Amino acid sequence: MKLLLSSLLLASLCALSSWSVSSPGGRTVTQSRDVSVEEGGAVDITCCWTLESDRFRVHWMKNQTVIKNEIIYLKNHSHGSPLNETTGCSDLTFTNVTPEDSGRYICKVTEEIPSLSTVEGNGTVITVRTRNHTARGPTSSLLQSPGIIALAVGAPLLLVAFVCFYSRRRRQARAASVIYEVPHIDSEEVEMDKHSTSSSRGSSEWVSATPSRLYGE
């Protein structure tokens, strides 16, 4: 009973730790799950299959580009005899990884004999973390925050708008002051004109009255 439970648990863990793709005819390709590794480290991903073929080709691809190619032959198999299911695995190993190694790696298995057919896995994503991720991560994320970027761009614009608004209000206040003072100056000039006119009339009357008095004497 314990052995049965252990077997079921192991099967469940294997199912959770890999991606599997099946095709008609019982062909199966299983790849490792996604993995994250620090820059400069090493990582190994696998591709396993169950096929009925005595010769097949394994392609490891990234961005539709073949980066590893293997041809595998079955040993001790007589030509024309029935084929049994064959299980095999292929490894893709990285040492001293760099950020350029990040990406999705797809394993494609092609049967060549007795018939041509291809099965591929769902792919394994490798994520390479930079060495300064922990030390500079918060600072870089803060600088890349949309709110910080918007504030950095918007603050100068707000400052320019405030300066323009303040200058415009000052010009309007100065213009209103000039408009208010101009009528005041005109009224003073009118009063001065009235005073000068009255003085002129008084002088004229005094001058015209003086000769009559002289002649009367």
The amino acid present at 135, given as its one-letter code, is A
Span 150-185, pLDDT tens digits: 777 778 888 888 888 878 888 877 776 655 555 554
Q: Helix (H, G, I), strand (E, B), or coil: what is residue 64? A: coil
Cα 100 to Cα 127: distance, rounded to the nearest angstrom? 10
DSSP 8-state code for residue 132: T
Listed in sequence order, the DSSP H helices in the chain are 2-16, 133-143, 146-216
What's the pTM?
Answer: 0.49
| Number of Cα atoms under 13 Å in the Cβ half of residue 124 | 28
Sequence spans of domains, the chain? 18-135, 145-196
Closest-CA residue to 33 (of 23, 20, 22):
20
Q: How confident is the model at residue 214 (pLDDT cuts 50, 70, 90)?
A: very low
User: For the chain, what percentages of helix, strand and coil (3-state, to nearest 5) are there?
Assistant: 45, 35, 20
Instruction: Indicate whether 122 pLDDT > 50.
Output: yes
Instruction: Indicate whether 99 pLDDT > 90.
Output: yes
Cα 101 to Cα 62: distance, rounded to the nearest angstrom? 10
For the domain 18-135, what is the CATH superfamily, name and number? Immunoglobulins (2.60.40.10)
Relative to beta strand 55-62, strand 43-51 is unpaired
- Please state the rounded mean pLDDT for residues 86-111: 92
